[in-house]
Structure formats: structure tokens, C-alpha cells
A and B are shown apart, each in its own frame.
Chain A
Amino acid sequence: MTMTDAYLQTKPRELAVYDLGTTSYEEVHRLQQRLQSQRREGHGSDTLLLTEHRPVFTLGRSHPRPDLRVEETTVRQYGIDIVQTERGGDITYHGPGQLVAYGIVDLRGWNVGVLDYVRGLEDVVIGVLADWGIRGIRSEVGRGVWIEDRKIASLGLNVRRWVTMHGIALNIDPDMGHWELINACGMRDAEITSMANEAGKQVPYQEVLEAFVFHFGRVFEAEMRNVEVPGRGPSHG
């Protein structure tokens, strides 16, 4: 998608990009809440958090009961947490081998509507996939990015005073067995796929992360400013 005139503005967009490495969902969730709170008050800067989580199922606000294919105790036995969040959407999975991008963005400052932002996130992922020769598309089935009828990236947002949190998760090479435990996004028959599946080869996490940052800057016409986080960062060679 090309950027429409609505995207254009005089003030350059700038994002602080944090590569957090491997994290637990809850610590990044707290961080997001804090950043969104600051941003709502007009402090801080627009931020992109990039991470891969330890295994966790997250629930959207309107679907507080996990849509599981197995008993909840079984999920726990896999060492997977179940966490309630304030984003829209249904249950989804995060885990190692999945790039999760959380944007804390003041949409008013960018002069961008919620749906423009959503489409932009999808375009970022479609751009990343293209770099690996994978053709990602949008689908009428639901938001996110798809490879034909297989879902490869899931999306969910919370917006408060025009500041976003949550974002998009791209499957690079996660443990696909974990997806089997849930009806992802509330869809009983949705097939989940990954870049490794589609490309038929190993896909390095860190290269995908760098491509994501590049395409994010390209799609949103934003300057991406990497911020080093002491003790955090790339966990993959």
C-alpha cells in the first residue's frame, strides 16, 4: 500500500526502537502500559518494542475465556502462561521464534487513523515477507497477514487517547505445536504458518527483526532510532 495524503505531515516521525531480546510477556506488558501512559500525557517519544516472548497465550478484552482445544491444566503443564490483556482480538500465542512488535505511537502526532496504522503494520510484515520471497496478503477472514489461507502474523491493538499499544506478531519459526493447543484468534479451522515453513529453510530471527525495523521506517516514513538497552538485546546470533 502506498501512503496516502493523510499520512503526510510536516513534522518528521521518529521512533525509538528497543530490541529487548527474549522476555516474559508480563514484563513487556507492564513496560507498554507505562510507555502508553507517559505518551498520553505528552511525554516520551513514540516507541517500537521488539521482542520474542517466552511461551504465553494472551487473551483479548472481549474474549476473557481462553478458547483452548485442551484442558487449561494441560496448557500449564507445557509451561505456557495464560494472560489477560486490554487489546482487541481473541486468544493468540507468543513464544520463541516469533517476532513481536509493539508500537506505542501517538496517532494524532502522526496524523494517522487507527485503521491506517493497522494497515501500515500489515504492510510492514508484507514487506518483510517479500524479502524472503514469501507473498503475504490481507484476508477477508480477519486482520493480520496471511499466506493464502494460512495466517502468519496476528494483530491486536489498544488505543487510549490516540496512543496505541500492543501491535503485531510475526511467526518466524515458533514451536508450531503450541498453536495446536488453542483456537487461534477464535477461528476453529485457522491454519497457522511461519516464515520457516513457507520459505522451506531456516530464517534467522535477528535478520527478520532488522528487516522489520527497515520496513516500518519505510511504510510509516519514520526515522528509526535504535536505543541500546543495557543487559537486553539480541539473543540470536
Chain B
Amino acid sequence: MAVPIAVPNLGEEMAGGLVAEWYHPDGAIVDAGEAVCRVESSFVAVDIEADETGLLRHRLPAGSIERPGAILGVILAPNESMPPEESFHQEPASMLAVAEPAESSTPSEGAKPEAAPESTPPTLALVDDDFVADVLEDAIASPPSEGLGPLPEFEEALIEAVVVPFPLKFSGTPGRSWDEVPGDSVEFDSGLFGDGIDESVAIPEPGGTIPGLPLWTPEEPTALRSEAAPQDDEAGQRFGRISREAHASAQVLTMTMTVNLKEAERMRSAFEREWHPGGPQPMLEDVIFRAIAWALEDTPFAGGIGAIIVATPDSDLAFALREPASRSFRDAVTARAAVGDEAFESASWLLVSLAALGVSSATPHLEPGRGMSFALGAEDEANRASLKMAYDSTRWSEGSAARLLKRVRDILDLPYAMLT
């Protein structure tokens, strides 16, 4: 039977948490005990694990804020279908028992993994006085009976349009595969993404248990790490040495993209009037470069197709949207901002899309050297042009070029995901 994945009850003061990230896409097979998603408050991050092995189905997207007990998704057995939406709104009997620490003392030594609850899937109704929850509920209640099938554009977009406190930022729900975007292709040098990037991978246990030692591997001092803060009289020498080392190990990340200029032009037109009021009107290149620069450089904001962040002037609200060029969508945002009719127009916003600009391929590679450049190639008969960007690794911290490449790959692999 379907095993629910619920927001844990973290304590009486914890009204809810941000569903920060799904670790696996909708429809993935997960193993029992594997972390499937992360719920966060301002000071604690909780990984929620799968109680059973099975097919993971998302119910609520990352980026939403949910109360304890809210069902975020389910794990289905083979050939099992998604339970009807109504079943998620039944008043539960056992949810809090699942989520809270056991009432009685639990032996901590040699504790066996707990069996999945025998009762019916425990649920709690979504918060009905919460505007966001209402929107989500409406949007989710309306899809076809087959479950999480394709939604009409606007409703689908509403699922993404989740209001969160601004500092929490977003992550999104992977909803479509890249293959569904016709004519697109993505190529990567997979050898670049291998080492030390995926933090979700369990740390291999080399042997020994607490307090069995050695638990440490000898630290290898590096030039940058092995010294304390520089003394004043050493600062000059130190700076020179760091600079020489950085130059010696510099690499250039070159990213060649194929951009559909027609799409990019469409986006430019759509945004022309909403460009930052204090700045010049955007040129085509401005849109392209800004979007891609944000997606690549600004780690918290890396968007999928049509992803856009709108921050109200006081930056206490933000929206994650899909299809920002849609008039109806902008109207909806304006209405929802609830701080005045011109909220959207007066908002500062950041475009973080790649695919909405018609980026159809991206091939990153690293080579030694230094330099930064942008180059837009000539347009071909299919309105496509190559866009080449080169970033100097000395602009980034150690290893960030590899992380950056991984981000690019993630964005293109899951074009609808907003990654934080």
C-alpha cells in the first residue's frame, strides 16, 4: 500500500517547514532508508527517508511551505497507482505518531529499523486558512483522474507559483524530462563531474565503530589552508604567493550553447517594459547574457524553463513562476502580490532561465589558462546561433568550476527544476 512521506513534527513551536528539495525526481525508484527529501526551517534541516522501497511520487513541490503532517508524496508498491487526492485530506489517526519521537522510551542501542505503520496512510488536511495551501490544493485537485498528468498551462504554473519568505529562496519540482522539449540535445563531458560533488552520497565507512580509532585521515595541509590569518608584515608576500598559485592552476570553463534567437527575441520583447526601471532597455544580448550569467554564477538562483524570481520591493515575498512571458501569469502575480496593483511592475526581478531563451544545447569543458569572454555567433537558417562563454576559474573558489559544471548539467537534465 502507498506509504506516505509526511512533514515531521519538529516541535510545538515549529509551525511548518520549507520543502527544500526532492532528492529524487517524481517517478524514481527509491530504497527503504534512503533520504528522499529535505525539509528546512531557519536553523534546522531534516532529511526525510523512505520507509519502504518503491516508486516515489511527489505530491507537493519543493519550494512550498507545509505544516507538520502534510503529505509531501508517497511511495508506491509495484503496479500500485497514486491514491486519490481525497485520501490525502482525511483526518488522520496516526500521522503524528509517525512523525514524532516515540512516546515511550526507545532503546537506542541496537534499535531495529521501525516497521512501516500498519494503519491506513495517515494524513492531515492542508492548512485551509493558508493562501498558498489553497492555491496548491486547487491546482492539484484539478488534474485529470490519472493523477499527476499534464496540467493546463496556467494551473501547472500555479503549482510552481509558491509564495515563500524571501530568504528561504526556492527549489522546484522536477516535472518533465528534457526529452519532452522537441529538437533539443544536451552533451556533456561526463568526466568532469566525478569527484567530490554529490554530498548526498553516503560516506563510506572505512572500518571501526565509535570509539574505534583512527577516525581521522591525516590532514594534508595546502598552501591556502595551512596557515592562520596573515600577519600584517606577511600580507604582501602571502598575497603574491596566492596570486602566483592561482595563476598556475587557473582553468577556463568554456560553455558553448546553442541559442534560439527567435525565442530569445520573444523573451526580450516580453520583458522590455518590465526591465529594471532605473536601467537601460535591454538588448537581446543583455537578456541572454544576464539570464545565463545568473543561472551559472548565482548559485541560489538556477532556474528551469521560464523560471523567474520576482521580489517585491521590500523583498519579503518572492514568487517562482513558469512561463513568465504569459500575460495571464503576470496578471496572476500582480494580483497575488497583494501589495498594490503595480507590484509586478515595481518589483525587482531576476531572470534565471536557460531553456526559455531557446538554449537547446550546452557543452561545457575545462582547459588550462585564464580569460573571460562572451561571443555570440552568426545566426543560421533555423534562427539558431552559438553562444560561447568563457569563465576564468580564478574568479571562483577551489573546486567551484566543477560544481558549476554540475549545476549546468543539473539545470539542463531537469529543465523544470529550480535548484538551490
Contacts and interface: CB of A to CB of B under 8 A. Distances in A.
B44 A116 contact: no
Given A78-B229, A113-B10, A45 B397 contact: no
B115 interface: no
B397 to A, nearest CB: 6
Interface stretch (A124-132, A156-164, A204-212): A156-164
A108 B106 CA distance: 6
Would you list the 8 A-B pairs with minimal beta carbon distance, nearest first?
A109-B108, A115-B11, A44-B210, A88-B45, A160-B47, A113-B11, A65-B299, A88-B44
A37 interface: yes
Contacts of A200: none
Given A31-B215, A38-B210, A229-B213, A178 B106 contact: no
Interface in A110-167: 110-116, 118, 142-143, 155-162
Contacts of A218: none
B219 A72 contact: no
A34 B41 contact: no
A37 B47 contact: no
Given A111-B105, A157-B43, A37 B397 contact: no
B298 A72 contact: no
A30 B203 contact: yes
A131 B250 CA distance: 51
Which size class do A's interface residues fall under?
A: 35 or more
A16 interface: yes
Contact of A113 (B100, B203, B205, B298): B100
Contacts of B394: 73
Given A62-B45, A79-B227, A11 B107 contact: yes
13 contacts: A11-B107, A24-B225, A42-B108, A62-B18, A62-B420, A78-B229, A79-B225, A108-B101, A143-B42, A160-B47, A161-B33, A175-B229, A186-B167
A79 B108 contact: no
A148 B325 CA distance: 48
A19 interface: no
B108 A61 contact: no
Contact of B216 (A31, A72, A118): A31
A64 interface: yes
B40 A61 contact: yes
Contacts of B373: none
B300 interface: yes
Nearest to A14: B108
Given A65-B298, A157-B43, A27 B216 contact: yes
Interface residues of B, number: 65
B209 A44 contact: yes
B297 to A, nearest CB: 9
A96 interface: yes
A16 B300 CA distance: 37
Contacts of B40: 61-62, 88
A159 B45 contact: yes
B374 interface: no
Contacts of B230: 77-79
A111 B106 contact: yes
B145 interface: no
B322 interface: no
B44 A159 contact: yes
Interface string B1-38: 00000000111111000101100000000000101001
B49 interface: yes
A221 to B, nearest CB: 13
Nearest to A6: B101
Contact of A158 (B44, B101, B229, B242): B44
A183 B382 CA distance: 47
Contact of B397 (A72, A106, A156): A72
Contact of B46 (A111, A114, A116): A114
A37 B210 CA distance: 11
Interface string B83-110: 0000000000000000011101111111
A2 interface: no
Contacts of B42: 88-89, 142-143
Given A16-B211, A79-B224, A88-B41, 11 more contacts: A34-B203, A34-B215, A44-B210, A65-B299, A76-B224, A82-B397, A111-B101, A113-B10, A118-B11, A229-B213, A230-B213
B168 interface: yes
Contacts of B101: 107-108, 111-113, 162
A55 interface: yes
A62 B20 contact: yes
Given A45-B210, A109-B106, A162-B101, A65 B45 contact: no
Interface centre among A62, A81, A142, A158 (most CB of B within 10 A): A62
A81 B225 contact: yes
Interface centre among B14, B229, B394, B395 (most CB of A within 10 A): B229
A76 B397 contact: yes
Contacts of A116: 11
A113 B9 CA distance: 9
